[in-house]
Amino acid sequence: MHELLKSASQSRRRFIAASLAALGNGIAVAAPVFGRAEETASLRKLAAEKGLLYGTTISAAQIIGDKPFVDLVLQQAGVVVAENDMKWQDMNRGVRGDDNYGLADTVAAFAYENGLALRGHNLLWYHRTPGWFFDLSSRREIEDAIVERIQALAGRYRGMVHSWDVVNEPIEPKDGRPDGLRTAVFLDMFGPEYLDLAYRTARETDPGARLVVNEYDVELDTPEQEVRRTALLNLLERMQRCGVPVDAVGIQAHLSCAGGPPFSAARLRRFLAEVAGLGLAIQITELDVTDENAPADTTVRDRLVADTYARFLDAALDEPAVKMVVTWGLSDRHSWIVRKETHQSKWRADGLPSRPLPFDTDLKPKPAFEAIAQCFAHAPRRAAG
């Protein structure tokens, strides 16, 4: 048995204590519940019938402090991903090598104890790189720090992780490089070979995990996103040519139901077919629908959000290489689109709370839930992957 799992089952209290310490003082929390999910009708079950894994983000704080939400996750999800608890900057205490694994361990143990698949998010992301990394100067130091990060995190959960987002968001057309790669942090400091280093190290560290390139906006019908799609395909082809291990493409799919850039089902279908043509699996990794510019009326808004889920999934699920759908949250209670402290919308000008996810803040299913369920029910069956 894996060391972490042994210690997880032998002394769960240590995990909880570590999580509480990491959460800081003064937060009243209940004991976590690690019950087995009932096999009731659920998105997990509908998806599984088609060879799909469905799941959601979760956090250690939710596992510890929100039992009703946890129960809903156990009913609905077959895979979970830490929304923030495995991100480097979130784990790091400001000093190289000093990372706090308490919250990440809580999420990993939750997945293990409940028989859920675990997505690892993420090993490297320019946006959540600790400050000290930017002070490294020698090539050797930078390489060592990247390798240390990957070996430490992917090594700790070796054998437990279904898929790792090894590099999150490696493409940025605005950076102006002919290859479309994002320059921020890793490329600037090390060169484009950081990608090869990261994926090779991840494969060596946890050979059983699927290695994913996770990217956003590839479903949008704009010239900029056409450049992003091309750059991503070129990157994948180059990795394959050079023997750099990659198994899947992650499509974040943060969608907008009104006033956003146009979504094109035709473009998405074509892009998915091109990815599948490379022999890669596809995962929808962060699906949600902002209602930022939708009318205030809740019924109208919920319908627009639901229709957006339906249009996207209808196109995506026709592609048999799509093996997984993860929504970036399950209930509007916990969404990055909804400001947690005030429950005011982050982006709506009228200040109304956003309603981006399948369940409302009372954990009641919304039209978005029905839309996703219908899409799963009508999706062609595929080989699981």
Give the interface with ligand XIL as residue ranges (CB under 6 A). 83-84, 168, 252, 286, 336
Tokens of residue 320, six digits: 């048999």
User: Toward ligand XIL, which CB reaches closer, 320 or 329?
Assistant: 329
Query: Cβ–Cβ contacts within 10 Å for residue 40, how many?
Result: 9
- How many Å apart are CA 142 and CA 314, to the nearest integer? 43
User: Toward ligand XIL, which CB reaches closer, 74 or 357?
Assistant: 357
**Residue nearest to ligand XIL according to CB distances in the complex:** 336
CB of residue 84 vs ligand XIL: minimum separation in angstroms? Answer: 5
User: Toward ligand XIL, which CB reaches closer, 219 or 373?
Assistant: 219
CB of residue 351 vs ligand XIL: minimum separation in angstroms? Answer: 20
CB of residue 333 vs ligand XIL: minimum separation in angstroms? Answer: 13
CB of residue 16 vs ligand XIL: minimum separation in angstroms? Answer: 22
Residue 206, C-beta contacts closer than 8 angstroms, at least 6 positions apart: 154, 155, 157, 158, 159, 161, 164
User: Toward ligand XIL, which CB reaches closer, 101 or 336?
Assistant: 336
User: Toward ligand XIL, which CB reaches closer, 310 or 357?
Assistant: 357
- How many Å apart are CA 232 and CA 180, to the nearest integer? 8
Judge whether 172 and 232 are in contact, CB under 8 Å. Answer: no
Cis peptide before 168 (omega within 30 of 0): no
CB of residue 12 vs ligand XIL: minimum separation in angstroms? Answer: 26
* Closest-CA residue to 126 (of 164, 82, 165, 95): 165
Query: Cβ–Cβ contacts within 10 Å for residue 255, how many?
Result: 22
Q: Which phi and psi angles does 136 have, rounded to 5°? A: -70, 145
